[in-house]
Chains A and B, each alone.
Chain A
Amino acid sequence: MSHGHDHSHGSHGHDPHGHDHHEPGFLGKYVFSVDHKVIGIQYAVTSLVFLLVGFTMMLIMRWQLARPDEAVPIIGGLLARLGITNAGTRSLLPEGYNMLGAMHGTIMVFLGVVPLAVGGFGNYVMPLQIGAKDMAFPKLNMMSYWVFLAGGIVMLASFGANGGAAQSGWTSYPPLSNIALSGQTWWLVGMVLLITSSLLGSVNFITTIFHLRAKGMSLWKMPFFVWGQLVTAFLLLLAFPPLEAAGVLQLMDRVADTSFFMPAGLYVGDKPVTSWTGGGNPLLWQHLFWFLAHPEVYVLILPAMGIVGEVLANNTRKPLWGYKTLVYSIIFLGFMSFIVWAHHMYMTGMGTAISTFFQATTMIISIPSVIILTCFIISLYGARIRYNTPMLFAISFLPMFAIGGLTGLPLGLAAADIHLHDTYYVIGHFHYVVAPGTIFALFAGIYHWFPKATGRRMNEFLGKLHFWPSLIGMNMIFGPMFFVGIAGVQRRLWTQVDYNLGQLTQSWVVFSSVGAAVLGLAQIPFIINFFSTALAGRKVTQNPWDATTLEWAAPSPPPHGNFLTEPVVYCGPYEYSVPGKKSDFCPQCQPMEA
């Protein structure tokens, strides 16, 4: 219940001690800052680093799949010291593959995409867009970041644990995870920290949006991005605690030998398991886990949709088509996301009646997603589109998310899922949603708001050099996974070519791995662009995109307290090309008559 400000600076401005104005030092300004913009950048940079780490893990795995049992290039020797590769041959060990698999998923979701989308963009952009000076609880905001960082460090440090990092997949299903080595305990501790950070953040986001909107900023004048953050915050607030409970229960199973998830009469490798009395239920974990992890899918996608909405409206120079429909759709998505979780569990034998229920809710939840996509596509109709880098990423989000979403329908139907469950088809499906979907939207956001955060605009040529190979690379990786999965190749196989089935699809697997290399190379222009622009990029005005929303009414970068004069909102968020106006955009903070 931190309220975040020095006590001596209460509402009594005449307090004589309140005026000894001293600038915060370097630490207070850039490290232990309570300014939402600094915290946003801290989140963004940290999560970009984690995205790169998670991506590198995937590259190592793809090497093993394409070139089974060959020495991992460059870092093979280093990985041997962590027990990931064989010390002699430097090829990936099966347990190393499992570690990388589990940690790739965990890092990408909990340390990469969500902190960038919510911690980074949410923190930086949302208060600016609603005309607030800061988040409602600035100290709590700082604490969210440091707890998040601690969770990330625990996760990475788990590679040094006895037996290495967690190996039970990002889903950590018991009983496998209960009998796993100590890396799993580290994973659980890391998760509890990350969940705590998310909870603190979500309380802050909701309070800020409800309490700190500028004068005139009614709910229906809020930019779509802010709506996306609001629904996301509610999902984080209400879906994460059950996973925290599940994490505590698994921790008890591992540390205090309780049997929450351990059935009686379990055998591992022909030996009866005797450390646990039994009486628990492994399905309980799956229910608690997916009760979080399905809403988590919408936590991954809603901020991305918000970013895409902003960039589309700005670069089509048209109002977002069906703004209210979009908002109602994401609110409905938010509600529905709480009652679809067991569609991840059709194969567990939980019963056809339950499967039927979750199949029905799953089909229903696809409706608002299609509505959102339709609104975005209609927004493009008849527009004179500015094809700058943010727009290219935002526009490519639409077909990529569509592929990801539509390939999810067969998985949502219990009968089709019997064949497709746990195959590469699933991997292809959710990566299309999250990788070329959400991550492209996040790139769009970086290019779009970079001039706001730094006062400098990123290089267009390098941007396009980043975009086109990334688009090709992403589709090379994930497209073939649908064929490989339909052919029946299971996910999490260390060497697919050891199976007859895998030999038939091996050429596609190699193709995917080449795509991963292309995608990796495509990030080099981005990294160069990011740093060179931040240091010496072309300076731009405070509103280089001729945008309407409030963040562009603040200086670039905005000072502490954000706005020079308190903004007042007169019109809706997307007043582009209003007929009869001289300028093709009406900023929210200017009366329409002006």
Chain B
Amino acid sequence: MSHELLPYTVKPHPITAMYSGKLGTWLFLASEVMLFGALFSTYILLRVANPVAFSHANTHLNITVGAINTFVLIISSVTMVMAWAALHEKNLGKCRMLLGVTLACALFFLVVKLVFEYKVKWDHGTFPSTNPFFAIYFTMTGLHALHIIGGIVVIGYFLGPGSKLYATNPEYYANRIECTGLYWHFVDIVWIFLFPVLYLL
């Protein structure tokens, strides 16, 4: 096993001005844009083909609950970036506290999504198979929820065992929090597109 880190694992590269993890994260997010881009294209195509189903179906969605969730996710993005900023103040305790708030927001989002949205739909006999609108609704929000779960795992790791890295290499730890933040903001942005497209349009 390597006993020294590869170049630019911690320090930024002079030309790209990014450390490797950050460049890798941006590339990964580019592929994520293509993934959700394909799904938004699918939405457009289905909507054009099924105007009636789409214009009626979204009245069954609960805009209030969706708006609350949107608000919670935006808060979590703010606390995420504040957690990173806390590391620049050399304050690990504050960072972990803010990561905890982010994590709580993420869990809140998931619980609301599951209990006040999915379960209500299922109780009313509305499933992905009901019509093309609910097919794309459940698929896109479900995939988004999977991304939230992924974020919870990563944030939970850096809040818990991952934070040991701070003691040996605080800059490296701060980089990892920054990359986590990039991902988390992306997941947030996807929702900010999903909310108007699915609930409001």
Q: Which residues of A contact B (CB under 8 A)?
A: 1, 3-13, 15, 18, 21, 24, 28, 34, 132-134, 136-138, 140, 199, 202-204, 206-207, 210-212, 237-242, 244-246, 248-249, 252, 256-260, 276-277, 279-281, 284, 288, 291, 560-561
**B-side contacts of A4, CB under 8 Å:** 6, 9
A1-B24, A203-B27, A244-B35 known; A21 vs B42 contact (CB < 8 Å): no
**B-side contacts of A211, CB under 8 Å:** 7-8, 13, 16, 20, 23
Interface positions of B from 142 to 197, Cβ below 8 Å from A = 143, 154, 164-165, 168-169, 172, 175-176, 179-180, 183
CB pairs A–B below 8 angstroms (7 shown):
A1-B24, A5-B5, A10-B165, A203-B28, A210-B16, A256-B135, A260-B135
Query: With A and B bound together, what is the CA distance between A252 and B139 in angstroms?
Result: 8
Interface positions of B from 18 to 38, Cβ below 8 Å from A = 20-21, 23-25, 27-28, 30-32, 34-38
Query: With A and B bound together, what is the CA distance between A9 and B5 in angstroms?
Result: 8
Query: With A and B bound together, what is the CA distance between A284 and B135 in angstroms?
Result: 14
**A-side contacts of B179, CB under 8 Å:** 1
* Cβ-defined contact, A8 with B168, below 8 A: yes
Which one of B6, B132, B169 contacts A212 once the chains associate, using CB atoms below 8 Å?
Answer: B6
A260-B135, A279-B50 known; A10 vs B168 contact (CB < 8 Å): yes
**B-side contacts of A199, CB under 8 Å:** 28, 31
**A-side contacts of B169, CB under 8 Å:** 7, 10-12
Q: Say yes or no: is B2 at the interface (Cβ < 8 Å to chain A).
A: yes
* Cβ-defined contact, B168 with A7, below 8 A: yes
**B-side contacts of A260, CB under 8 Å:** 42, 46, 132, 135-136, 139
* Cβ-defined contact, B135 with A207, below 8 A: no
Q: State the majority secondary structure of interface residues on B.
A: helix
* Cβ-defined contact, A561 with B6, below 8 A: no
* Cβ-defined contact, B168 with A34, below 8 A: no
* Cβ-defined contact, B6 with A134, below 8 A: yes
* Cβ-defined contact, B42 with A245, below 8 A: yes
Q: Say yes or no: is B107 at the interface (Cβ < 8 Å to chain A).
A: no
* Cβ-defined contact, B34 with A241, below 8 A: yes
Q: Say yes or no: is B4 at the interface (Cβ < 8 Å to chain A).
A: yes
* Cβ-defined contact, A241 with B46, below 8 A: no
B interface residues, tally (CB under 8 Å): 57
A1-B21, A210-B13, A281-B49 known; A241 vs B168 contact (CB < 8 Å): no
* Cβ-defined contact, A5 with B2, below 8 A: yes
* Cβ-defined contact, A279 with B46, below 8 A: yes
Which one of A132, A242, A280, A561 contacts B35 once the chains associate, using CB atoms below 8 Å?
Answer: A242
For A1, A9, A199, A203, the residue with the greatest tally of chain B CB atoms inside 10 Å of its CB is A1
**A-side contacts of B127, CB under 8 Å:** 256-257
**A-side contacts of B165, CB under 8 Å:** 7, 10
Which one of A10, A240, A259 contacts B5 once the chains associate, using CB atoms below 8 Å?
Answer: A10
Query: With A and B bound together, what is the CA distance between A8 and B10 in angstroms?
Result: 14
* Cβ-defined contact, A1 with B135, below 8 A: no
Which one of B37, B50, B139 contacts A258 once the chains associate, using CB atoms below 8 Å?
Answer: B139
Query: With A and B bound together, what is the CA distance between A10 and B154 in angstroms?
Result: 21
Q: Which residues of B contact A (CB under 8 A)?
A: 1-10, 13, 15-16, 20-21, 23-25, 27-28, 30-32, 34-39, 42, 45-46, 49-50, 53, 127-132, 135-136, 138-139, 143, 154, 164-165, 168-169, 172, 175-176, 179-180, 183
Query: With A and B bound together, what is the CA distance between A281 and B136 in angstroms?
Result: 13
**B-side contacts of A24, CB under 8 Å:** 1
Query: With A and B bound together, what is the CA distance between A137 and B23 in angstroms?
Result: 11
Query: With A and B bound together, what is the CA distance between A561 and B5 in angstroms?
Result: 11
**Closest chain B residue to A206, Cβ basis:** B27
**B-side contacts of A280, CB under 8 Å:** 46, 49, 132, 135
Query: With A and B bound together, what is the CA distance between A277 and B133 in angstroms?
Result: 12
Which one of B8, B35, B164, B180 contacts A1 once the chains associate, using CB atoms below 8 Å?
Answer: B180
**A-side contacts of B28, CB under 8 Å:** 1, 199, 203
* Cβ-defined contact, A257 with B25, below 8 A: no
Query: With A and B bound together, what is the CA distance between A212 and B128 in angstroms?
Result: 47
Known: A260-B135, A277-B131. 4 other contacts (CB 8 A): A212-B8, A245-B35, A258-B129, A291-B38
**Closest chain B residue to A258, Cβ basis:** B135
**A-side contacts of B36, CB under 8 Å:** 245
**Closest chain A residue to B133, Cβ basis:** A279
**A-side contacts of B7, CB under 8 Å:** 211-212
* Cβ-defined contact, B31 with A237, below 8 A: yes
A1-B154, A203-B24, A280-B46 known; A259 vs B129 contact (CB < 8 Å): yes
A256-B127, A279-B53 known; A18 vs B3 contact (CB < 8 Å): yes
* Cβ-defined contact, A238 with B21, below 8 A: no
For the complex of A and B, 9 pairs with smallest distance between CB atoms: A10-B169, A258-B135, A245-B38, A241-B35, A257-B129, A241-B34, A242-B38, A279-B132, A256-B128
A279-B53, A279-B132, A281-B49 known; A245 vs B39 contact (CB < 8 Å): yes
**B-side contacts of A13, CB under 8 Å:** 4
**A-side contacts of B49, CB under 8 Å:** 279-281
Query: With A and B bound together, what is the CA distance between A240 and B38 in angstroms?
Result: 11
**A-side contacts of B31, CB under 8 Å:** 199, 202-203, 237-238, 240-241
